[in-house]
Every structure is written in structure tokens, then in C-alpha cells.
Structure 1
Amino acid sequence: MRALAIAATGMDAQQTNLEVIANNIANINTTGYKRARAEFTDLLYQTERAQGVANRANQAIVPEGANIGLGVQTSAVRNIHTQGNFIETGNDLDVALVGRGWFQIEAADGSTLYSRAGAFNKNADGQLVTIDGYNVIPNIIIPIDATETVISRTGQVTVRLGNDTEFTEVGQLQIANFVNEAGLKPLGDNLFAQTPASGDAIVGVPDDPGYGYIKQNYLEGSNVDPVKEITDLITAQRAYEMNSKVITTADEMASVVSKNLK
């Protein structure tokens, strides 16, 4: 019976849905995390009777056909790039992006990756780095005798050297935009990679038209909504149970047919 295979695809789809929801909940406190959503499409159809053709030679046209679907498949797991809540940290090197944009990060192989997590620090040479030690692009060095660091909303980095009354500029943060943010490839460690689907990075200065601005002493939290995730979790569970019930019912019906044929 086709119902067995159809229901099995439904159970597999809800298993995938559950895994996506579980990952969202697991990352509810991850800096800069963007919640994901599983998206599904129906499978091919088997045509029992075609529409739009004559029911017999030179007769009336059939207005509706009979097409039996063969189930469901996972078509995409989309990251939802909406703004997360802001968390005040009081750390001068913590910055959040308000609006569109991505921090540029230099990977170990020299390639450029992208992140919304602005939990920055300094390495032994005073370079601005991520919590995993990757350099921030463009390279910014905080002098060893800097007593205060200020990062403006436009990304300008200035420091107070010793007891100086004036601040000295040491760098300018730049951020990148993409035509299709959903096309970025998640790599883990709060990092994303450019793909042909995302388009090329368009680099600019924070607070320019079309770009977000910098908020110092804050981090962008996860955009996961706990209430929505629990609701989606219950929905996925019920859908899984219904597909399981279809398999049980189809199996019982097949047993009845087998008994009657004996």
C-alpha cells in the first residue's frame, strides 16, 4: 500500500523538523545565533486520471483529474536573520550590530568568514580577535598602554593612551552585506561562509545607508523565541504521531485484505 511509504516520508520529515527545533533550543543563549526553520515540499504525484483530456474519444473534457501524492521531502533548512535581543556586558570590546551587516573574520586558511557575534578580545600582540582567536578584518591593534577603548556607532576605534586627555584612532571596523543572507553557509563557532547563493560580500562602513550600526558594550543575543519553539515542538510531535497512526491503520487494512484472500 502506498499509504505506508507516504506516512514514512511524513515521519522522516517531522524527525528533521524536530532536530532543527532541538538545535534552536540548544542555542537559545548563543551570541548572534539565528534560528532555523525546516521547510518542506510535496513529492511527485501518480496520475490515476488526467484532467483536461476527453473522457472518451470526441467526448467531454475531464474537468478534474485524480493525482495521488507520494509524500513529503525536506527542501531547505532556512536561517531566519532577524535581530536578536541586546545584552549589556560592560566590556569595551563587546559590540553588537544593530540592523544589517556582518563582521568580517579571517579564518586559519586566510579566507574571509562572517559573523554576527561581536564578543571580541585581544591576542598577545594586541590584535582584535574573536573568542576563538581569529583576527577581525580589517586588522586593528590595541596598544599595550591603552587605558580606555571607544568604538563609535560608525565603527571607528579610538583609545586613550596612558593619561592622555585626547583619544587616538587605531582603526576602523568594516562590515559586509549580502543580497541573500539566507544563502550563507553556517560553519559553527558563530561563523558563516559566502556561497554562490548568498552573492558576493558588499563591504561598507557601519551606519552608512543600507548598513547597521555598532553598539559598544553590548552583544546581540540569539533570536530564538522559547514560546514559539515549544509550540513548534508540540506541533511536530503531533504530526509524527499522526503519521505513525496512518502506518498502523494501513497495516491493519492490509491484514484484513490478506485474511479475505485466504
Structure 2
Amino acid sequence: MNSVLSTALEGTVRIMQKQQVHANNLANLSTSGFRADYLSTMEAAENAAAGEKIDSQQWSSFESGPMMQTGRSLDVAINGEGWFAVLDDKGKEAYTRAGSFMVDQAGMLKTRDGHAVLSDAGPVVLPPFERVEVGSDGRITVKPQGARENALAEIGVLKLVNPAAADISKSQDGLFRRDVPDPLPADPAIRVSSGILEGSNVNAVKEMVSFIELGRQYEMQLKTMKSMENIGASGDKLLRA
């Protein structure tokens, strides 16, 4: 009986963890380039005396999000597979699909979360400009302030990488990283579109359905624990009779 209660209790904990993951997905429904997360559980008998051990594994969906036309030159979307390379808060290379870029006061190109965007030669730094363009191959050109209309300066090429899904995973800061510390090589075959932004790949309807199903599962686990409690109480009465 204790093993049944233990299993039901672990089940409620896992259900609550799944609900937190789905809640985070819904909170990022409008976050550019966000990848939905899911929590899977794998049940395996540890031994006959100790009951069942439940392990959890979080994973991310790599499906593309919807493409939205913005007309803004620093909104950049990757066509198909691939990732933008950025620097995380520790100065290490990480990866994101969020292509809504901005330029800070020092001219550094950054994501909306403040991560420096990488080119083939390091962080992208733009001079004062009147216009900036991003080509389909990630090539960045600007028209410097005060320059003639056709006087364009090439700044660099966005570092675009294409790792296998199994080789990267999401960290708590929302960036993806390799399981090994070595940076990925750039993939010149990746193409991007300027003036377009990739949205979140979260499916709101799917998330709400999951919430309802998890709520029902949670109620079932509570009923199981309550039944075991009642059976235990009945057993105690019989022993005292």
C-alpha cells in the first residue's frame, strides 16, 4: 500500500512539473523564435520492494514558428533549419532563433534580451548609419551617415549554424547550447529573410488541452491517495477492534 501511495505522490509532483512547463509555453506565446518545451516521463521498476521510479526528461520542439512580415530591416528570420550565434552573459557562444535585433549606443548588434549577435569575425559592431540591410546569406551592409546613396559598407556576415537537434538543448536563459564547449562552425548554406520575424512555435490550443488533461490526471492521483488513506484507516480500526 505504501508503494501505491508513493507512486501516486510522485505522479502528482510530475503532473505539477508538466503544468509549469506548459504555463511557461503559454507565457511565451508571443516571444519571437521561442521553442515550446515538453516534459516526458519514463516509468521503470527499480525493484519489487521499492515500487516504481519515475524519471523526467525535458525536451524542446524544433518546429518552425509562423513567419510575420514587419518591414523592419533588423528583423531577420531563418528560412528552414538553422540558428543565429550569439554571446551569452558569460561571453560563451550560444544559439537562438529570435531574430529581432537592435543596435545599442556603442553600435553593437544585439538581441532583444541583450545578447551580442555574432558574425564570421566576432560580435557585430555597426558604425553610425542611415540605413542597414541584411542579405539572404546574412551579409550585413550599411549606408554610413553622410555618405553618398550608393556608398555602402559591408560589416560582416551573420554567423549561422545548423547543428543536429540532438546536439543542442535549451538552457534556463532560453538560449540553446551544445553539450560540448566547442563552438559550431558556420553553415554558408543557411538563408535568411530581412523584414520578417519568426514567431513562437507554441500552439495555444494544444497547450490548453494539455492543461485540462493534466488537471484530470492530478485529480485521479489525489483520489488514489485518498482511497489508500481510507483503506489504511479501516485497517487500523480492524487491528484495534
TM-score when scaled to structure 1?
Answer: 0.80
Farther-moved stretch of structure 1 (130-139 vs 2-11): 130-139
List gaps (5 residues or longer) in structure 2. Answer: none
Give 2:94's aligned residue.
113
Q: Aligned partners of 2:55 and 2:177: how far apart in 1? A: 22
Farther-moved stretch of structure 1 (130-139 vs 178-187): 178-187
What pairs with 1:103-142 in structure 2 (closer than 5 Å)?
103-138=84-119, 139-142=123-126
Give 1:177's aligned residue.
162
Contact 1:141 1:171 in 2 (8 A): no
SS at match of 2:230: helix
1:146-194 Cα offsets, whole Å, 9 max, x none, are 3222211111112234342354322111212223456424232x42333
Match for residue 204 of structure 1 among 169, 183, 186:
186
TM-score when scaled to structure 2?
Answer: 0.86
Give 2:220's aligned residue.
242
Give 1:22's aligned residue.
23
1:186 equivalenced with 2:178 (yes/no):
no
SS at match of 1:248: helix
- Residue 226 of structure 1 aligns with an amino acid whose one-letter code is A
SS at match of 2:155: strand
Q: Aligned partners of 1:31 and 1:246: how far apart in 2? A: 42
- Residue 10 of structure 1 aligns with an amino acid whose one-letter code is G
- The number of residues matched between the two structures is 234
Contact 2:167 2:179 in 1 (8 A): no
1:114-148 Cα offsets, whole Å, 9 max, x none, are 2111111112232322224432112333331x322
1:11 equivalenced with 2:12 (yes/no):
yes
Q: Aligned partners of 2:41 and 2:167: how far apart in 1? A: 16
Pairwise CA RMSD: 2.3
What pairs with 1:53-132 in structure 2 (closer than 5 Å)?
70-71=51-52, 73-132=54-113
The alignment-based identity, stated in percent, is 28
SS at match of 2:179: coil
- Could you tell me how far 1:82 is from its partner in structure 2? 1.2
Q: Aligned partners of 1:244 and 1:180: how far apart in 2? A: 37
Over alpha carbons, which structure has the higher Rg? 1
- Residue 170 of structure 1 aligns with an amino acid whose one-letter code is I
SS at match of 1:204: coil
Farther-moved stretch of structure 1 (249-258 vs 239-248): 249-258
- Could you tell me how far 1:254 is from its partner in structure 2? 1.9
Match for residue 158 of structure 1 among 124, 130, 141:
141
- Could you tell me how far 1:45 is from its partner in structure 2? 4.8
List gaps (5 residues or longer) in structure 1. Answer: 48-67
Match for residue 148 of structure 1 among 120, 125, 131:
131
Q: Aligned partners of 1:179 and 1:200: how far apart in 2? A: 15
Q: Aligned partners of 1:180 and 1:9: how far apart in 2? A: 30
